[in-house]
Amino acid sequence: MGLDFVGTAPVRHVSVREISAPVEAVYRALEDVPGWADWFPQVTAARPIDDGKGRDIRLMGGVRFRESVIAAQEPEVYAYRVDVTNVPGVRAIAEEWRLAPAGTGTRVQWTFATDGTAAYRLAMKPVRAAQAKAFRDAVTALDRRLMAS
């Protein structure tokens, strides 16, 4: 599965927020895999694997992802796909972070693209609001962190 899945997945959740931090700083934070646990509240642990070509992510509640980076186009796009997870019913997950200048800050667009069993797709509908809130909280925390440094 490649980056095209982000635009064609049966289930797509897209969130957008403008923040004060400059694009280059936001991109560097996305590439700093261990740093995710400092600004994304749901991430309890994150480490790069395979010489930076992959990520091992742990979320609250015991969810685990082993991911491959599928796009690292500085400073505009950072994306990864889930290769292994303990979430039942998943067939595919890809996430794309797209950055664009917004005045002196950054427009951050995050797309969560997924497919799975019928039960999984149905369960993802009510998750949309929680994911949007998690994105807002995380990007707000990232902005505060970047603007304070």
Tokens of 39: 């600004």
Is the whole model's pTM more than 0.85, yes or no? yes
- Which run of H or of E encompasses 58? strand 54-59
Please give, one letter per residue, the 3-state secondary structure of 30-71.
Answer: HHCHHHHHHHCCCEEEEEEEHHHCEEEEEEHHHCEEEEEEEE
Task: Give residue 57's pLDDT.
Answer: 98
Read off the tokens for 128. 């949309």
Q: Which fold has domain 3-148?
A: Alpha-D-Glucose-1,6-Bisphosphate; Chain A, domain 4 (3.30.530)
Taking the domains of the chain in order of start, what are their residue ranges?
Answer: 3-148
Read off the tokens for 20.
Answer: 């004060």
Rounded to an integer, the average pLDDT of 116-132 is 94
Question: What is the three-class DSSP state of 94?
Answer: strand
C-alpha of 47 from chain center: 14
Collapse the DSSP code of 138 into the 3-class scheme (helix H, G, I; strand E, B; otherwise coil) and give the result. Answer: helix
Average pLDDT over residues 83-97: 97
**Model confidence at 81: pLDDT above 90:** yes
